[in-house]
Amino acid sequence: MTQTAHFQPAGPLQGSVPAPPDKSISHRAALVAAMHDEPVLVHNYLDAADTNSTAAALRTLGAVVEMRPDGLLVRGTGLRGLDGVGETIDVGNSGTLMRLLPGWLASQPTGSWTLDGDASIRRRPVDRIARPLSMMGARLEATDGHFPPFVVHAGRLRGIEYVQPQASGQVKSCVLLAGLQAEGDTRIVEPARSRDHTERMLLRAGVRIWRDGPAVNVCAADELGLDAIEVPGDLSSAAFLIAAGLIVPGSHVVLEEVGVNWTRTGFLRVAERMGAAIEGDLEQPPLGDEIPLLEPVSDIDVSAGPLSGTTVESYEVPLTIDELPLVALLGCFAEGETVVRGADELRVKESDRIQAVVDGLRGLGGEIEATEDGFAVTGTGGLRGGVLDSQGDHRLAMLGAVAGLASEEGVRVIGIDVAAVSYPQFREHLGTLA
Ligand code: S3P
């Protein structure tokens, strides 16, 4: 049932809250754990709708998955132990599950599976994974040629070189997972760097995986070798509270144990460029081609202050992708113009996030225009407030709530319940700081 909540203008936010577990890394951890022959414990697994879909999908595939106080225990099937007989896997609202899982399924010796999800998932094209997987020899049948539900048939895959037309952490991960059982090496050339959690995790699992310049290469593996995986805090979720700390006057907040892998911290760099006071021990990009083994974490300390507009260029977009709605929000509170370019990918997220952000912020008094591949905001120093419909998109719902705290009249968010897709404790944490 759709829930509505009103977020009143708040006094200065103060205090410290833990960042919720990382959604991207939780999905990968559960999938990679299930590819092991031995049980793997995933510490700090995200207990939210999206990652629960991944746990449920693994159960459908025959893994034994148990949520315990110390994490998610996965007794998997091994790399090539699946043998689907036409089961339907419900990915819920999760685009990451829909894109990553087919890489593993397509590379099984036998079987076929149907992947389906909610109304938002049924609007999201699967072409971007169908293309490289078909080049590897896999067979996918999508509804109307493009959309879920779609069937993945198992088969013998061959390694390919795939030049990505668009940077995407999900598509790269799908191809890397398929490459684990392909004949010959698999190589993906990225037009811009995207999140590298899959590379780091596979490297820790003993897979031969390496980078040369813009390309990631992976060799087939016989088995994987982890007994535990640690999930850091999610910067993309923490970013909502970070943004709140930056725009509610007088605020000073700390987000604890946030993952600061440099391929995720674009938002912090953009915000700093806008003048934001942010302190944290952020990972720096490696100088050479080395793939870092670990996922670094740091507390992030933010204080409110004046902001000025900036331009986010295409190469920064994959490093900031899920936080671009927040860049728009900061832009409303900044002086001057804030422009985002090269972000057409936002049109195929949980909603058309360019249109949804523009409609949402305009409804609150923001001066924002959509462009084909992004948006342009004219900062007016604040927002009046009003009503924002989340359109079933978790990041829109949280955007509205944060806007409400910093607005003049407050914001009524229609469909606030969808925040539980990625951040079930969002309102509780916001309450702690307010
Ligand atoms: C994700 C990658 C991003 C991001 C999504 C999660 C991932 O998508 O928007 O929320 O876990 O790999 P793309 O990089 O595929 O655009």
pLDDT above 90: residue 1: no
**What amino acid is encoded at 195 in this protein?**
R
Count of Cβ atoms closer than 10 Å to residue 390 Cβ: 27
The pTM of the full predicted model, rounded to 2 decimals, is: 0.98
Residues 6+ apart with CB under 8 A from 21: 44, 45, 46, 47, 231, 232, 233, 234
pLDDT digits (tens, 9 = 90+) for 145-203: 999 999 999 999 999 999 999 999 999 999 999 999 999 999 999 999 999 999 999 99
Supply the residues annotated as catalytic.
322
pLDDT above 80: residue 37: yes
pLDDT digits (tens, 9 = 90+) for 302-312: 999 999 999 99
Torsion angle (degrees, nearest 10) of CA 309, 314, 318, 321 = 40
Are 201 and 176 in contact, with CB atoms under 8 Å apart?
no
Q: How many Å lie between the centroid of ligand 1 and the Cα of residue 236?
A: 11
pLDDT above 80: residue 43: yes
Q: How many Å lie between the centroid of ligand 1 and the Cα of residue 364?
A: 28
Q: How many Å lie between the centroid of ligand 1 and the Cα of residue 105?
A: 19
Q: What percent of the chain has pLDDT over 70?
A: 100
- Report the mean per-residue pLDDT for the chain: 97
> Can you say whether the dihedral through the CA atoms of 196, 197, 203, 208 is positive or negative?
negative
Q: Identify which of 126, 235, 236, 321 to mutate to test ligand 1's pocket (most ligand atoms within 8 A of the CB).
A: 321
* Alpha carbon distances (Å) from 273 to 310, 331, 338: 7, 12, 11
Pairwise CA distance, residues 237 & 21, whole Å = 9
pLDDT digits (tens, 9 = 90+) for 109-157: 999 999 999 999 999 999 999 999 999 999 999 999 999 999 999 999 9
pLDDT digits (tens, 9 = 90+) for 347-387: 999 999 999 999 999 999 999 999 999 999 999 999 999 99
Q: b vs e for 106-122, b when ≥16 Cβ sit within 10 Å of the residue's Cβ?
A: bbbeebbbbbbbbebbe
User: 359: which 2 tokens?
Assistant: 């409609």
pLDDT band at 86 (very low <50, low <70, confident <90, very high): confident
In degrees, rounded to 5, the angle at the alpha carbon of residue 164 between the alpha carbons of residues 239 and 23 is 30
Q: What's the average model confidence in pLDDT over 65-70?
A: 95
pLDDT band at 425 (very low <50, low <70, confident <90, very high): very high
Pairwise CA distance, residues 242 & 186, whole Å = 38
The residues that bridge with 209 in the sheet, in sequence order, are: 218
